[in-house]
Structure 1
Amino acid sequence: MLSTTLTDEERDQLHETYRHLHRNPELSMQEHRTAEFIERRLDEIGIEHFRCGGTGVVGIHRNGDGPVVGFRADSDGLPIQEDTGADYASTATGGLADGTTVPVMHGCGHDTHVSSALATAALMARQADGWSGTIVWLFQPGEETAAGAAAMVADGLWDRAPKPEVVFGQHVFPSVPSGSIAVSRGTAMALADSLRVTVLGTQSHGSQPQNAIDPIVLGAHMVTRLQTIVSRELSPQEPAVVTCGTFHAGLKENIIPDRAEFTLNIRTLTEESRNRVLPAITRIVNAEAEASAAPQPQIEEIYRFPRLYNDPERTDQVVAALRAELGDDRIVEVPPAMGSEDFGWLADSIGVPCVFWFFGGFAAENTAPPVNHSPFFLPDMEPTLSTAVRAGVATLQRALERG
């Protein structure tokens, strides 16, 4: 049996790695310093590696004959001003595509993913005589924009690295206490679509609405009517979310503008639901414009996430390994989350199964932990990080144990 216990020196390095990554977040697909840091650590561990998908890093640990498995950790931060008060809080900034400079923080815990994956890689390397096969370490950029997994696949990931028979991944989450694991069988996370809608109108003076087609009023009707898709077009047993996240229009209070723009985020659990919701959005947006005698609006896709599907058989194996390592009371089986991940593309692109689970980030007595993407999101360092390492080692051992 492999040990899942870190030495004092390894634990200190895990904590320092985490603090370093937390202090130095980078925006999606801009993780240049993060990638260099990962490469240095892989060199220290003795794992070969190559760049993939721009700022992605792939490590390959070959250790004799046996199965090939993948293990993924995402590395990007978010455009959020950190407000945790930690002595290792981020003061970093980054640039958006439009040139805007924004604050950046690890508001979704990807720093915990990378630091625990590196510690897991070191622990597996230290105990290489206890397992056999190949681990493909996938340090993936750009999860927050659904760009990273697709970029790695497009860059020849599975032509350059051994093809795994299964891909594993994990994510820190506030809904289960630190030291525990939550996992779903089958559908684990939702499909997601983000759209930009540009509403076209006719500009006029604010005192002369009769000469205008007001895109703000029109857009407001669209946003309100879109909520009826979930409440009136889908079965109550069919989960879906249609969220309007931004609405921008106008420059001055006495000018009716010629356009408005809003963005939508849509979550569904099946392709069938997605194929009902997306056409309904187009239908409603166009019909509201026609009702106002406005030009046809522009609807653009910003990005989309695939469904994340946990293979039931492989999930059973992972759950058994986690129960043996952490105890039955520390493993919670949960329904699908309406959040989304591009992790599934790494496995779907070559038709192999995957399993993805969540490790808790906050003490059980914290009854109102900050949620992911909050400026206050700062998981308890322990036992959060050690649990992630234990889960990684236990899962990999089960997949790669010597006969």
Structure 2
Amino acid sequence: MNRREFDPNLKALHKVVAIVRFCLQSGMTHMLNNNNFMKTLITSFALLCSASSIMASTLDQQVTRAMPALEELYLHLHQNPELSLQEQKTGARLASELKQLGFQVTEQVGGFGVVGLLKNGEGPTVMIRADTDGLPIVEQTGKPYASKVKVKDANNNTVGVMHGCGHDIHMTSFIGAAEQLVAHKQQWQGTLMMVAQPAEEVGAGAKAMIKEGLFSKFAKPDHVLGLHVSAALPAGKVAISPGYALANVDSVDIIVKGKGGHGAYPHTTVDPVVLASRIVLGIQTITSREISPLKPSVITVGSIHGGSKHNIISNEVKLQLTLRSYDREVRDQQIAALERLTKGIAQSAGLPDSLAPIVYVHEEESIPSTYNEPALANRVTESIRNELGASQVVKSEPVMAGEDFGLYGRTDDNIPITIFWLGGVNPQEYQRAQQNGEPLPSLHSSKFAPDYPLAIKTGVRAMTASALDLFNQ
């Protein structure tokens, strides 16, 4: 929250200074020597401090009072997760919550996305986004509120469903922030845009909502805010990274072709298993020898499949890769190097161009890096520090994970965006793990069980304070 607007002592002091300055500029210095006048001025200062202090404490107190209902909402969302592209009931619940708060709500935007608008006079438009989908994971936390949901996935397989990436905390903090901003309407002017986005886990939700006219049919925000729970940060803390925060993500398939035959007569074949092995080793030199060490790059071979029997040399092998980077140029360099490397290895084995490896980039799944606009990120950092305390906010390093939140800043509108990390680990568990060198359950783990009461309260306060500051800049 902006201390220039909401710090109780500072706000009161500004008023007193203005009176003193007026006296000096108007030649009324004799008033400053008048005991009765000075007593009145000091009394007024004390009253202003007292009144402002009550106002400043309202947010923390109101969030505390709202927590029982928010915890109930969290437990409902946690116990009823829905897979990507199936978030119908989740979207309906969030839409209902926003309608009750007075938002103009549109459902089924870009799938099961929800857009809520609240106009509160003239001023900037601030968008707050939360993602809504769960993961195909059987929860193993042992918690009494653990998800027991099982559904059919796109391949008609029965899978467990869990909010293993904290989207239940994101949604609850999202509704909590909306509640507080409605409760504090007298402290801001502008348009609040709440966006509940589906299908983040498959990289499809933000694309679909933008394509359906998120910024043209509804509103074009001046700022976009988001948060993501962290499995490596204690609850009660927030971390933020100005500039690059999350990576470009590309999924790549490589089909390595060969000439199959009997395993007893390898000299009559061109073995694609051997070619694939050479390709995997060659890939290791792309990052280490072709890309500047000052520019982060990751190329991971996640799977390799080929052959059907011990004594059969197959006709092809399939590799599946994930590519990570921040710069677009590095991403393009990675893909170009893969195409050149695979083709060269095939040619060296004597294969014709008709049997050259196929490098296929799943462009429909690709998501760009998330770039926290530095001025906005620094402003949000200041707002959260003023609300939570300086010790509760730290600067984080960029990570190679991906998030389609970055797409909101990649449109032709060039909207500044910022996402921050919200601590999710119970502080005592975090301290014990640090002392004993024990690993903590990560995001997407079946055992990820965040300290949801503290995380949600912190998320609501941080997001509300950030939005209030942006409305009053």
For the 8 Å contact 1:4–1:393, the answer to whether it is kept is no
Equivalent residue number for residue 321 of structure 1: 383
Please, which of 374, 384, 393 is the counterpart of residue 464 of structure 2? 393
Taking structure 1 as the reference length, what is the TM-score of the superposition? 0.94
Distance of aligned partners of 1:321 and 1:8 in 2 relative to their CA distance in 1, 3 Å threshold: closer
Equivalent residue number for residue 371 of structure 2: 309
Where does the alignment leave 5 or more consecutive residues of structure 2 unmatched? 1-55
Alignment of 1:97-112 (within 5 A): 97-112=154-169
Equivalent residue number for residue 166 of structure 1: 223
Equivalent residue number for residue 252 of structure 2: 195
After TM superposition, the structure 1 stretch with the greater mean CA deviation from structure 2, 269-278 or 91-100, is 91-100
State the Cα distance separating 1:96 from its structure 2 match: 4.0
Aligned-residue sequence identity (percent) comes to 37
State the Cα distance separating 1:307 from its structure 2 match: 1.7
1:10 counterpart letter in structure 2: A
SS of corresponding position for 1:146: coil
SS of corresponding position for 1:383: helix
**Structure 1 position 358 matched with structure 2 position 421:** yes
Equivalent residue number for residue 402 of structure 2: 340
2:416 counterpart letter in structure 1: P
User: 2: distance between equivalents of 1:352 and 1:252?
Assistant: 55
User: 2: distance between equivalents of 1:251 and 1:128?
Assistant: 66
SS of corresponding position for 1:343: helix
User: 2: distance between equivalents of 1:238 and 1:30?
Assistant: 38
Q: Higher RCO, 1 or 2 (CA under 8 Å, sep at least 6)?
A: 1
User: 2: distance between equivalents of 1:318 and 1:97?
Assistant: 39
User: 2: distance between equivalents of 1:59 and 1:168?
Assistant: 15
Alignment of 1:172-251 (within 5 A): 172-251=229-308
Cα RMSD over matched residues? Answer: 1.9
For the 8 Å contact 2:63–2:457, the answer to whether it is kept is no
Distance of aligned partners of 1:279 and 1:208 in 2 relative to their CA distance in 1, 3 Å threshold: same
Distance of aligned partners of 1:252 and 1:25 in 2 relative to their CA distance in 1, 3 Å threshold: farther
State the Cα distance separating 1:240 from its structure 2 match: 1.0
User: 1: distance between equivalents of 2:312 and 2:150?
Assistant: 35
State the Cα distance separating 1:264 from its structure 2 match: 0.8
Equivalent residue number for residue 358 of structure 2: 298
State the Cα distance separating 1:95 from its structure 2 match: 4.0
After TM superposition, the structure 1 stretch with the greater mean CA deviation from structure 2, 4-13 or 261-270, is 4-13
Determine which structure has more spread, i.e. the larger CA radius of gyration.
Answer: 2
Please, which of 25, 35, 42 is the counterpart of residue 98 of structure 2? 42
1:314 counterpart letter in structure 2: L
Where does the alignment leave 5 or more consecutive residues of structure 1 unmatched? none
State the Cα distance separating 1:206 from its structure 2 match: 3.3
What whole-Å deviation, never above 9, does each CA across 1:205-258 have from its counterpart, x for those lacking one? Answer: 333433433322322221221111112222322211111112222333333332
User: 2: distance between equivalents of 1:187 and 1:146?
Assistant: 18
User: 1: distance between equivalents of 2:120 and 2:409?
Assistant: 22
Alignment of 1:52-71 (within 5 A): 52-71=109-128
Higher strand share: 1
Equivalent residue number for residue 263 of structure 1: 320
Distance of aligned partners of 1:20 and 1:204 in 2 relative to their CA distance in 1, 3 Å threshold: farther
2:414 counterpart letter in structure 1: G
What whole-Å deviation, never above 9, does each CA across 1:264-304 have from its counterpart, x for those lacking one? Answer: 11111212222222211111122222233441122222221
What whole-Å deviation, never above 9, does each CA across 1:322-342 have from its counterpart, x for those lacking one? Answer: 110111111111222111211
> How many equivalent pairs are there?
402
Equivalent residue number for residue 122 of structure 1: 179
Please, which of 369, 375, 378 is the counterpart of residue 449 of structure 2? 378
What whole-Å deviation, never above 9, does each CA across 1:116-165 have from its counterpart, x for those lacking one? Answer: 10111112222222221111111111112211111101111112211110
